[in-house]
Structure 1
Amino acid sequence: MLALGVSGLLAVLSGLGSGHLGVAVLLIGPVLACARLDARRTAAVAASSLILALVAGAASGLMVTPGFGIEFLVLLVGGTLAVRDAARHTADAAALARATEVAQASQNAILRPMAVEFGGIEVYARNRCAVQGASVCGDLYDVVHTPYGVRLLIGDVRGHDLDALRATAATIGAFKDLAYLTPGLADLATALDARLAPELDAEEFVTAVLAEFAPGEVRIVNCGHPAPVRAGKQVRLLEPLEPAPPLGLHPKPQLYRFYLTSGDRLLFYTDGLSEARDANGADFPLLERVGDALAVLSPSDALDTLYAMVSAHTGRAPTDDIALALCRPTSMVTPSPAARPSNPAARREP
């Protein structure tokens, strides 16, 4: 309507102006149209401008003059170019929309919400990509039941673009391949790093926590990732004594073993939870809120509650990706020989 209105106004001024305002100025209408409209609507505005130019030329008596013919030709060529430009940017927008849709579908296929139980462990996991305008997010998780026990991976790939999706798929694919073949959890982290390093750019890396569940304990290898929370009689972080760099930066990870009872719950998360800040810059009170959420709620409700708590703390929707994986043992089974600790010297909490 704006483009047509401008064209009509300029046509009136041209018709009444005794030629001082040439009909070529009607090209403003098609130019306005091609900036926002598709090719069909831009062509309609361009055709209207041509018709209005003829009407203005007839009203001013200048239609048969050479100057009018030149200006009308300029208007015709300019309108054609405007239609072509509208078609081009419409095609680009459609291609971008299709690429975004494919990327989102790919990520949804890789990171499906999870609610499974195997090996005496219940696992509930989900993620939320909160960055405005991002087609994909960089958080990831996966869980597999191997001869060495139930193994879980949670990680965070640097970035939110298609490169992050590529690195996410590569990390989960490598984990699925190697988790069944590598007896030691620390060796699994080393193998993942060796597999991912050629796939990552110089500035890319993946923070990750690997966990392996065994009767009465959980074994953890942490590569530059926020420490998981164990909620039971006490709520505490399961932190490594010596931090290791992320995957892709050639860490030398160590295995740590922590006690685990049937009443405990373990929360694995990405830094979108622990580093959420309120208007005054205060961090999300992780241990307190996790303890409150996990104490009385079902696992699925607890994850929803944690997302709501983050939003309440920041006063807005989270501005970073958040992936959560909640695990709880349902039984304590005797381990198979393959599931015994591969590193008896691994550090254990007091």
Structure 2
Amino acid sequence: MGTVAVVDVLAGAGAGFLPLISLGPAFAGLTGGVRRTAGIGVLALGLCLVLSVYNGQFADRRGNTAVIGVVGVSAAGLVATARRQRHEAELASVRSIAEVAQRVLLRPVPLTAGPLRVAVSYTSAVAEARIGGDLYEVAISPDGVRVIVGDVQGKGLDAVETAAVVLGAFREAAYDEAELVAVGERLERALGRHLSDEKFVTAVLAEFRPDGTVALLDFGHPPPLLVRADGSVEFAEPPEPAPPLGLRALGAFDAPGGAGAIDGLKPQPYGLTFTPGDQLLFYTDGVTEARDPENRFYPLAERAAMLKDPDPQHALDVIRRDLVAHVERPLRDDAAMLLLRHRDV
């Protein structure tokens, strides 16, 4: 407004710069509050009246047009500011609810669980979202530390609802069932009552036993990355592929033998040794399928050396930052990582 006033005085009344005073209250409504916008509107009106008197345009057509323009823009700015502030308050409320939902659905994992140190990283692909279709949980049961990491087909609220079903069933079954296979069966039954339209959930279950072994059960999920204490790296692949949760019943109709063939579609448990210094990184496909601008996948195994940091959470944060730097843009899919490191006790 000061610039417009100076230009108007220097250029003279005939240049017609006076109506541009209304730019002040127009821009004020973009960032300020109602009081600030109203104050700038009053200031603009006063400045417009002073300049119209100075230019000899007070009460004539040009002067009246400029005054009406300032009053109209100021009024519109006040309305826009009030609506913006109301929407900002609603958004803050929604964010608060989302944070509560995250604490209920994806509860903070324990920093230590038996002989394990635990770290987690979660990045949602949905802007402003705190949660999505990826899931994880660490449960300390009488049979050892049990873990689940999974990925729900699709995105949005439907995916969040399905993730809640899986996590609720796992939290109950992890304490009740003596065998890891029985935990998987409980998840399958829970999703059978919930899923429809050929939707599914990929997941990997793990049981860290006191004897230094790990039992794994893979439901069509990317295999965990095993990093040994000596730095060697390998993917803990299942011996036989198995369908994701929610697709076993569908597969029974296509497989030879009909419904009896469903037993052949069950995932087979497999194990590995897990000794002090070893690390097991669970992740979702949002990590390994993230692509850079040249369409190259994120090389997770090649980045395993980044996990040497003594603090597992810091090591996982380094991987996350490297992942974001690899894609050079917002992630297109949710990306969850859960790192478990064997420590001496």
Structure 2 length normalisation: TM-score? 0.71
What is the deviation of 1:126? 1.4
Residues in 2 aligned to 1:40 and 1:200: alpha-carbon distance in whole angstroms: 51
Q: Give the counterpart letter for 1:116 in structure 2.
A: T
**TM-aligned CA deviation for residue 80 of structure 1:** 1.4
Task: Identify the match of residue 40 of structure 2 among 28, 45, 50.
Answer: 45
Which of 114, 118, 122 is the equivalent residue of 1:124? Answer: 118
Shift in CA distance, 219/158, structure 1 to aligned 2, threshold 3 Å = same
Task: Give the counterpart of 2:272 among 256, 259, 273.
Answer: 259
Q: How far does the alpha carbon of each residue in 1:114-155 deviate from its partner, in whole angstroms, 9 at most, with x for none? A: 32233xx42412114276954324443212233444321112
Q: Distance in 2 between matches of 1:201 and 1:99?
A: 28
1:228/1:238 contact within 8 Å kept: yes
Where does residue 82 of structure 1 map in the other structure? Answer: 77
> C-alpha offsets along residues 265-322 of structure 1, whole Å, 9 cap, x if unaligned?
43322335434556655545444553x467x765x34x53354356558755885434
Change (3 A) 1:99 1:309: closer
Aligned residue number for residue 323 of structure 1: 337
- Report the alpha carbon displacement of residue 225 of structure 1 after superposing the two structures with TM: 1.7
CA contact (8 A) 2:226 2:233 kept: yes
Structure 2 gap ranges (5+): 250-264
For 1:91, the aligned partner's letter is R
The alpha-carbon deviation at position 108 of structure 1 amounts to: 5.4
Residue 179 of structure 1 aligns to a residue whose secondary structure is: helix
CA RMSD of aligned residues (A): 4.2
Match of 1:95 among 61, 69, 90: 90
SS of the aligned residue for 1:220 comes to: strand
Structure 2 letter corresponding to 1:124: V
Listed as ranges, the matches of 1:22-41 within 5 Å are 25-41=20-36
CA contact (8 A) 2:121 2:317 kept: no
Change in 2 beyond 3 A, CA 1:46/1:131: same
Residue 324 of structure 2 corresponds to residue 305 of structure 1: no
Q: Tell me the distance in 2 between the aligned counterparts of 1:22 and 1:330.
A: 77
Corresponding residue of 2:254: none
Does 2:285 align with 1:271?
A: yes
- Match of 1:72, SS state, is helix
Instruction: State the match for 1:153 in structure 2.
Output: 148
Q: Tell me the number of residue pairs that the alignment of Structure 1 and Structure 2 aligns.
A: 320
Alpha-carbon offset, residue 113 of structure 1: 4.9
Is the CA contact (8 Å cut-off) linking 2:28 and 2:40 kept in structure 1?
Answer: yes
What residue identity is the alignment partner of 2:78? V
CA distance in 2, matches of 1:203, 1:68: 69
The code of the aligned residue for 1:126 comes to V
Q: CA distance change for structure 1 residues 278 and 231 in 2, over 3 Å: closer, same or farther? A: same
Deviation readout 1:160-183 (Å, 9 max, x if unpaired) = 766665554443333212323345
Letter of the 1:43 partner, please give it.
A
Separation in structure 2 between the aligned mates of residue 84 and residue 152 of structure 1, nearest angstrom:
52
User: Could you tell me whether the CA contact under 8 Å between 1:113 and 1:127 is conserved in 2?
Assistant: no
- Of stretches 205-214 and 5-14 in structure 1, the one that deviates more from structure 2 is 5-14
Q: Which runs of 5+ in 1 are unaligned?
A: 332-350
> What corresponds to 2:217 in structure 1?
221
1:22 Cα deviation (Å)? 8.7
Question: Which residue of structure 2 aligns with residue 8 of structure 1?
Answer: 5
Relative to structure 2, which stretch is displaced further, 63-72 or 174-183?
A: 63-72
In the alignment, is the contact (CA less than 8 A) between 1:14 and 1:56 conserved in 2?
no
Q: Do the aligned partners of residues 258 and 207 (structure 1) sit closer, same or farther apart at CA in structure 2, a change above 3 Å counting?
A: same
Superposition TM-score, scaled by structure 1 size: 0.70
